[in-house]
Each structure stands twice: as structure tokens, then as C-alpha cells.
Amino acid sequence: MRFDIITLFPAIFDGYLSQGLLEKAIQRELIDIHRHDLRDWAPPSVHRPVDDKPFGGGPGMLIQVEPTVNCIEKVETMDPRPMRKLLLTPQGRQFDQRMAEEFAESERIGLICGRYEGFDQRVIDILEPEEVSIGDFILNGGETAAMVIVDAVVRLLPGVLGDSQSNIDDSFSRGNRLLEFPQYTRPREFRGHKVPEILLGGNHAAIEKWRDEQSRQRTIQRRSDLLPEEPSSSN
Ligand code: ADE
């Protein structure tokens, strides 16, 4: 799967892409990630500005339409696979595990990262990207949001995780739309806190039942919005 990240700060991704699962997925050619510096598309001048003041007044600066559209149209031609264009903005559809699963089906994703007060509206009108938010808070730019999306999508790709079961058991995931059950490893006891007896007995059916129940209880306590709706009684 190919990712194209369009950003004014490509170096933000250096550490993230050179560690752990991401580094391995790149080395094993399961994914390739290309970063494109929007500033390369600015009209030639000393500082190469890509931002300007909003018409009508108001605080902050906007990223201009011309370098952005030119950059993204060029990036689209760099690979024959069609690029699903996502623009990161707090005004977008809220990202969740179902969207991650859907994006993981794509061959190619473009992540368009805003800065300042965002993009000139014509970027959206012309390119028609899907606008995606990672939550109801304001980040300094779309880069961290893009990393969140890459991270959530990459771990769903075949071959990326060691144990193919682990992204099915995860909270919110396809095999389990509830929160994950608690897990324990050695030692069996620490400061008087014991591992639940049932996990030590090797009765797999009983363990599975206990985990399902823990998962349900946790979800009721913490995130009842995730519970499937009770069928409404017909009267
Ligand atoms: N850019 C700034 N805030 C954001 C958010 N919450 N989600 C996605 N992109 C953003």
C-alpha cells in the first residue's frame, strides 16, 4: 500500500517512520510512504511562502490554493494507482476503527496536512478530498493526525502484525466492537495484586467466557455508547 503525505513539515515524520512496526513494514515493502513538501510548489522567491491572509480579515494565515492543487495533482500522477485523498481537519468526519478498516482496503492513500488556519476553501472544492478529523480538539497541524491514521491503517494490513489474531481482539475491532478485556503476565502476584485465578487454570472455554464478560462490563462502565442497541420492544 502506498501513502503520499503532503505537508509543510515533512521532517516531522522522520522519527515515527524509522521505528518499530512502521520501519519494519517499510523494510519489508508492505508499505511505501512518500512525503511531499508543499513549499516546493510555492512560487520561486527567497522565503517561498505558501500562506497568505484571509480575504475579509480574521486571524491567522491560510494555505494558498495554487501550490496545494498543483502539488496534489502532480503527486497523483506519480503512481498509476488511484489515490484516496484525505484532508486532515477538525471539521471532517471523525476517524474511527471502522474507517481505518475501510482505508486499509485502499491501494493508495493521500494525506493532506493543513497548518495555520487551514486551506483556502477552493482546495476542497477543486480536489474534493474526504475531510477527516481525529477528534474534537485542535492540533497545530494535520501531521500528527496523519500519523494516527497511518498507524491505525498499517497495523491492519496483512503481514504487518506478528500475530494475525491481535487486531481482531483489539478494542473496537472487526471481531470485537467492545473494549478489550484486561490482560496479565508474570509475576502471578505483585504487591498483593493477584492475576485472576481463572487465567491460570488452562480452561480455554472458561477463559474465553470470562474475557467476554470482562469486555462487556468494561464497555458498560466506560463506553456504553459502543454497546449494540437493544432491539426495541414492539409496543
Ligand atoms: N488539524 C487540526 N486539528 C485536527 C484534528 N482534530 N483532526 C485532524 N486534523 C486536524
* Span 84-131, pLDDT tens digits: 999 999 999 999 999 999 999 999 999 999 988 999 999 999 999 999
Which region holds residue 231: left if phi is over 0, alpha if psi is between -120 and 50, else beta? beta
Contacts of 200 (CB under 8 A, 6+ apart): 188
Identify the pLDDT of residue 113.
Answer: 98
pTM above 0.75, yes or no: yes
Would you list the DSSP string of 130-164? Answer: EEEESSSS--SSHHHHHHHHHHHHHTTSTTTSSST
- CATH class, domain 2-154, is alpha beta
Q: What angle do CA 5, 9, 15 make, to 5 degrees?
A: 80
pLDDT band at 26 (very low <50, low <70, confident <90, very high): very high
Rg for the chain (alpha carbons), in Å?
22
Using the mean position of ligand 1's atoms as its centre, give its distance from the Cα of residue 107 in Å: 24
Residue whose entry in the numeric block shows the C-alpha cell 498543483: 70
Identify the pLDDT of residue 165.
Answer: 58
Domains 2-154 and 178-226 share a fold: no
Q: Among all residues, which ones are annotated catalytic?
A: 90, 117, 155, 170
Q: Quick one: CA dihedral 147, 149, 150, 152, positive or negative?
A: positive
Using the mean position of ligand 1's atoms as its centre, give its distance from the Cα of residue 140 in Å: 8
178-226 CATH: 1.10.1270.20
Pocket test for ligand 1, best of 8, 87, 88 (most atoms within 8 A of CB): 88
The domain spans of the chain are: 2-154, 178-226
